[in-house]
Structure 1
Amino acid sequence: MRTVSAFVRLSRPHFLLGGVLLFAVGAFSGENVDAVRYAIAQVMVTAAQITAHYVNEYADVEVDSHVTNRTFFSGGSGVLTADIFDPRVARHAASISSAVAVGTAAIVATYSIPVAMLGLATLAVSWAYSMPPVRLLDTGLGELATTLVVAAAVPLIGSLAQGGSPSASLWWSIAILAPIHFAMMLAFEIPDLETDAEAGKRVLAVRIGRASTIWLMVLLVVAAGIVAAVAGLTGAITAPAAWGVLAGGVPVLIAAAGLRKNNYPVLTAAAVATLVVAGVALLVGS
């Protein structure tokens, strides 16, 4: 039972819920939803997403062993650094989930080549984010690449898997969700800033420094709020959806303002809450 529990922690299933939510935002942006197509494409997305978790755990085991400010959402699962599993377990798990992603992409390709290609691109980023020779997280582009996958490609897969074209409201939703997701990525990097810098892990927060990271995070959330307000006023999204996005941005802004107290669990949870509230608002209000 301890081994099962540890493997679940290694998989970090709480992050998968974000992919489920944003996939739903895309899928339900159209008029009709085919349950079978929905399920197959969702499995493809989830398999690619969990691959990223395993690969990151494997690639960053040495850096994560020095983390002192681990939160529920940052610093890795802590499973490999506790020597519960050999790191190769994470690598093997990534290979299996990759096979599932490729297999479901093959099924999806029978009715939508673009969706299958997006799924495979998502899987490629899952490996390239953490693993050499690309290792996007060390280039300063990892946050952008991840945001394009989660906040843009995933909703688009959800929409295109239903056989239609992305609606105008979905493009507005992506324009809102993308800066919020980028801000969340930055929030996850702040607790590990010193550890990452000492280990030579050149994530964006390390490159631009703590103060600039906090300001960029705030500006991104404010930008998302402005886009939501414009979309709401022009009727591109419903007024309740726009108000939901605006309300969802408040917690992370408050947390960022009080970050001098280094309350990292609150900051990371608030950043996640902002994305979840925005996603739910756009889903329900679509």
Structure 2
Amino acid sequence: MLSDYIRDCVLLLRTGRLHFLIAGFLLYLIGALFAHRLGASLDLQVFLTGYLICGAAHLSVSYSNDYFDRFTDDPGIKTRFSGGSGVLPIHTHLAGAVVLTALLLSLFSLGTTVLLVLIGFFPAFLIAFVAAGITLGWVYSAPPVRLAGRGLGEVATMAAFGIFLPGGGYLFTAWTIGLEMLTLIIPFFFLGLFFIVSVELPDCTNDSKTGKRTLVVRVGRTRALIIATLGAAATTAVFLVLAAFGPDSGYFFAAAAFASVVPLSAGIAAVYSARYRILTIEKITENNMRSLILFSCMVAGYLLLWS
């Protein structure tokens, strides 16, 4: 029936957890604007084409993760930011459509990159960059590698958060790999630890039961929050060092250091709240994610206004 088809389409869209694309776009935007600040030309067509490629790859991760976690996710404890979409454990008939969507998005991302390289629109090294990002997204949850089950899920997510999203914005704008890129991706890499721990927090009990060796499962919620906050502190420290001794970039690194105090403060508050049970874990996760969005908006806003 038509109503069943429409319902399945809506559920398929929900599986993608499209709100995660907002954070991904902000990270890509920061990378592109940073490259522009360093002298690269910022062309709207190139910017949007690059994001179409990176955004499709990013979205494919939501679908592949949901597919491979469909037997372990608990829809009863999912939140806006953790536990998957909650669709497949209930609507099992959509499993094939979900993994097909993940595959098509990945093929679209890589295929578009290859095509544009062949016609001379982008440099060839971007094929390897996009392929590496897509591969990392799949092996995060797909057997037999399944990084999330081997205690390596945090490193994979830190790479996605710190390298592939802001790095994608930088490379699709600059068209070249330079040491200047490291001054952006290193602090964001550390901040990726704050992101992934925040997402893992509400899933701790279920992940422990189903064999996921996340950092939160291995060391407990409070200790994991301390480690995540140290990651945020490392981000602030790197930006401060770059502001004092790094390459000339106006006041960008100082502004980024100032903005990074937002997630750092949220992390400190989260440790205190978890230790003394002031807030629920779900509320802590929500506060941490909001702090990351605010940080990203502040950095992107600075680059937009003063590039």
TM (normalized to structure 1)?
Answer: 0.90
Q: Among residues 267, 270, 277, which one is paired with 2:284 in the alignment? A: 267
Question: Could you tell me which residue of structure 1 aligns to residue 88 of structure 2?
Answer: 80
1:255–1:266 contact (8 Å) kept in structure 2: no
- Structure 2 residue 99 is the aligned partner of structure 1 residue 115: no
Give the Å deviation of 1:263. Answer: 1.4
Give the Å deviation of 1:42. Answer: 0.9
Question: Could you tell me which residue of structure 1 aligns to residue 71 of structure 2?
Answer: 62
Q: Among residues 23, 47, 57, which one is paired with 1:48 in the alignment? A: 57
1:245–1:278 contact (8 Å) kept in structure 2: yes
Question: Could you tell me which residue of structure 2 aligns to residue 93 of structure 1?
Answer: 101
- Structure 2 residue 251 is the aligned partner of structure 1 residue 240: no
1:10–1:77 contact (8 Å) kept in structure 2: yes
- Structure 2 residue 20 is the aligned partner of structure 1 residue 9: no
Stretch deviating more after TM superposition (233-242 or 258-267): 233-242
Question: Deviation above 6 Å: which 4+ runs of structure 1?
Answer: none
Change (3 A) 1:64 1:17: same
Give the Å deviation of 1:239. Answer: 3.1
Q: 1: CA distance between counterparts of 2:15 and 2:227?
A: 30
1:148–1:178 contact (8 Å) kept in structure 2: yes
Q: 2: CA distance between counterparts of 1:130 and 1:118?
A: 20
Residue by residue over 1:226-277, the C-alpha shift from the partner in whole angstroms, topping out at 9 and shown as x without a partner, is 2233333446534333212213432233133212346133222222223223
Change (3 A) 1:166 1:280: farther
Stretch deviating more after TM superposition (237-246 or 122-131): 237-246
Stretch deviating more after TM superposition (114-123 or 223-232): 223-232
Q: Among residues 3, 6, 19, which one is paired with 2:24 in the alignment? A: 19
- Structure 2 residue 161 is the aligned partner of structure 1 residue 145: no
- Structure 2 residue 165 is the aligned partner of structure 1 residue 154: yes
Q: Among residues 224, 232, 244, which one is paired with 2:235 in the alignment? A: 224
Change (3 A) 1:95 1:12: same
Stretch deviating more after TM superposition (179-188 or 247-256): 247-256
Residues 115-264 of structure 1 aligned to structure 2 (within 5 Å): 115-165=126-176, 170-234=181-245, 237-259=252-274, 260-261=277-278, 263-264=280-281
Question: Could you tell me which residue of structure 1 aligns to residue 3 of structure 2?
Answer: none
Q: 2: CA distance between counterparts of 1:23 and 1:230?
A: 23
Name which one, 1 or 2, has greater alpha-carbon Rg: 2
CA RMSD of aligned residues (A): 2.2
Structure 2, unmatched stretches of 5+, are: 1-5
Q: 2: CA distance between counterparts of 1:146 and 1:109?
A: 27
Give the Å deviation of 1:203. Answer: 2.0
SS in 1 for 2:202: coil
Change (3 A) 1:93 1:175: same
1:72–1:265 contact (8 Å) kept in structure 2: no
SS in 2 for 1:132: coil
Stretch deviating more after TM superposition (153-162 or 37-46): 153-162
Give the Å deviation of 1:152. Answer: 1.1
Change (3 A) 1:33 1:85: farther
Of all paired residues, the percent bearing the same amino acid is 26
1:173–1:282 contact (8 Å) kept in structure 2: no
**Matched residue pairs, number?**
285
Question: Could you tell me which residue of structure 2 aligns to residue 279 of structure 1?
Answer: 296
Give the Å deviation of 1:68. Answer: 4.6
